[in-house]
Chains A and B, each alone.
Chain A
Amino acid sequence: MTKANSTKTKGSQTKSSEGSSAVTVARDLSRRAYLTMLEARLLEEKLAALYRSGKIVGGVFLGRGQEALSVALGVHLRRGDIYAPLIRDQAGRLAFGDTTLDTLRTYLGSSLGSMRGRDGNIHRGRPSEGYHAMISHLGAMVSTVCGGLVAKRFRGEKGAVGATCIGEGGTSTGSFHEGMNMAAVENLPLVVVVANNQYSYSTPNDRQFACSDLLSKAVGYGVAGHRAVGNDLVDCLGVIGEAVAAARRGEGPQLVVADLLRLVGHGEHDDASYIPEAMKKSPLGRDCLELARHSLIEREWLSHEEADSWHKAVEKEVEETASKVMREPAPDPSEEDWNAFASPSLGRNLKLGGI
């Protein structure tokens, strides 16, 4: 998958004179990450609007407030890596190579999307290209990514990493535990990012786990642990960058835990009234997109004018893409083969009475 986005190349041509190459790299990465966060935010705002106007059937699950953490993983991955994003990872998905177009196609059920109306919303991916399509059962993707890494080890491929994300609620599942333990036993180059957004749907952390710090799980599993400030883009980029680099160097599984707050409900049907106002007003509740803009401008890595022009360009692209997708055909039940088997001999030639 490759991503063509003219706003990105336009942005990267400014401010190239001063500073060491390390600063240049950090600046370019931060700019790319910020632009991707912006794309995710504006795309999700469009999805919410489409949902409210009844154009999207089923749920809409947004990552508002989690874009910095999500994108920080996505931008550190490259072709040949394996990525299994979760619910609030629109930014990471776009950074990994997913597109506004396929996101809208999947949400709107276009027959031209990668899921062809067979699955929707956040359940999208292209597994054969290393981009896994999550199932709803939390924790399940940890071991799946392990399997991809084992396959690469069998083939002698070196340098690739696998990465997945989960919330603090997902760490309570048996699947998460089994997957983490397995990754550690096999010493796989796996990066698991835990977004501790304080509420699993409506359940607060004191009803979810009793340990004082989720990062202590890293010790229990025998894997490296990292802590990031979940709504600080520059911090997330640094911490996750180091975790990914350590995995690439062969240092085994890496667990990243980041505290933050989801700035929306679990889905668009949920007003998140269970989150106390005081928490929303605390540092946890600060909007990572605004913070990132401020931070980049303060560093002179981005100007107000540039940020505004990116905003307009992304908004335009999202609007145009949504209009295009809404004219695309829905899946036609009469053209479905209604066959869940992949083997060509099954369900077609054998005529075994409607298997």
Chain B
Amino acid sequence: MPLPPLPLAGTLSLEGSREPMSSITYLEAIRLAQQRALKEDPRVFIYGQDIGVFGGAFKATKNLAKEFPGRVLDAPISEDAMVGLAIGAAVEGMRPIVEMQFADFSTCGFNQIVNQAATLHYRTGTHCPIVVRLPSGGTPGSGPFHSQSMEAIYAHYPGLVVMTPATVEDAYTMLLEAIELEDPVIFCEHKFLYYHLKAENLPATVGEALPFGKARIARPGRDATIVAYSAMVHEALAAAEELIQDGYEIEVVDLRTVRPIDTDTILASVARTGRLLVVGEAWPWGGVAAEVIARVATEGFGLLDAPPQRLNAKETPVPYHPALWGTHRPTASSVANSLRQLLEL
């Protein structure tokens, strides 16, 4: 299938105003994490469509088949069987990574993920350490079937860890962590961040990163809290920058992992600010933003000075045309508008 066009330059608001110093992209971090895992752990192999000699639709496995012969395997177009194979291999002690070509196609492997992988440990006591990588989220021109954000669907199921890294460093360390975990991990890597997010260098050890499951205060503040994850962290940070001119200091919490969810860090932030806006690129209905608000409302109602708000994608399929798409998803500008409304409540 055709690769969607690259994100339009300038539409992505990078963290702060920092200029990237070197060229380790979010995508390269994912490739390097896999390279390291293949090198250091003989149990690791990667299975997915077009990932061998071709290096993957997005090149996340570029040159890995050559460097690790027989361990980066092209799969038939069979998402259900791809995940089934990973589960069976994990039961026998391997650490498989499945690359879905797009997160959207994971629906074809949904049954194996939620009914077999997620239940295996609880039912039988046998661990199921698989990683399913989902190239997620929208990019201009990608349309309804190459743009979806699936984290809420998978987070719904007990037994699945769902990671949504927002930074180059997290993409690297969290993928390594995902491979180490004894549980099935849905690794939602954002396609919009693939090429445009860069870092100076990568942590040498996973230990340099935040502990697993811990949310990050991406930006401290005092007047309101934005909880976001994945690409929306960067829209939130840009909106926070914009509100400085209004005299507000906005705190941004990057969930990093949506399940388990770090309710403690969210509540601590809301305790500081008294106001909450949750931003998600996925649809609102039953989503991660709804879950965060439910938790704050039930566990931290007294901390709130105003009704908690959420901003999600519009409730239609993800549209094709960049003009429609740019309005469908939350942006720095729509986040800033929501923040201003929240601050007036």
Residues of A within 8 A of B (CB): 82, 114-115, 118-119, 123, 125-128, 132-133, 135-137, 140-152, 154-155, 174-175, 178-179, 181-182, 185, 340-347, 350-355
Contact = CB atoms under 8 A, between A and B. Distances in A.
A352 B267 CA distance: 11
A178 B124 contact: no
A353 B299 contact: yes
Nearest to B42: A154
Contact of A175 (B71, B81, B129, B213): B81
Interface of B: 45, 71, 75-76, 78, 80-94, 96, 111-112, 115-116, 118-129, 158-159, 161, 181-183, 211-214, 259-264, 267, 295, 299
B85 A146 contact: yes
11 contacts: A82-B88, A82-B92, A118-B122, A119-B124, A136-B115, A140-B112, A144-B88, A151-B92, A185-B76, A350-B260, A351-B264
A249 B14 CA distance: 57
B94 A151 contact: yes
A343 B185 CA distance: 11
A154 B86 CA distance: 13
Contact of B161 (A146, A174, A341): A341
Contact of A154 (B45, B183, B259): B45
B111 A175 contact: yes
A350 B91 CA distance: 26
Contacts of B263: 352-354
Given A148-B91, A346-B260, A142 B121 contact: no
A148 B80 contact: no
B264 A353 contact: yes
B81 A179 contact: yes
Nearest to B123: A119
A148 B56 CA distance: 24
Contacts of A128: 91, 124-126
Q: Which of B82, B91, B112, B213 gathers the greatest number of chain A CB atoms within 10 Å?
A: B91
Contacts, number: 173
Nearest to B115: A135
A125 B80 contact: no
A126 B124 contact: yes
Nearest to A345: B212
A149 B90 CA distance: 11
Contacts of B89: 147-148, 150-151, 154
Given A128-B91, A340-B159, A350-B260, A135 B116 contact: yes
A151 B87 CA distance: 10
B81 A148 contact: no
A136 to B, nearest CB: 8
A346 B183 contact: yes
Nearest to A119: B123
A136 B116 CA distance: 10
Contacts of B299: 353
A82 to B, nearest CB: 8
Contacts of B158: 340
Contact of B90 (A119, A146, A147, A345): A147
A151 B92 CA distance: 6
A46 to B, nearest CB: 24
Contacts of A346: 161, 181, 183, 213, 260
A343 B257 CA distance: 15
Contacts of B84: 140-144, 146-147, 175, 178-179
A150 B85 contact: yes
B330 to A, nearest CB: 25
Contacts of A179: 81, 84
B121 A350 contact: no
Contact of B80 (A114, A143, A351): A143
B305 to A, nearest CB: 21
B124 A147 contact: no
Contacts of A344: 182
Nearest to B112: A140
The 9 closest A-B pairs by CB, nearest first: A147-B88, A143-B84, A353-B263, A151-B92, A355-B260, A178-B81, A143-B81, A340-B159, A178-B78
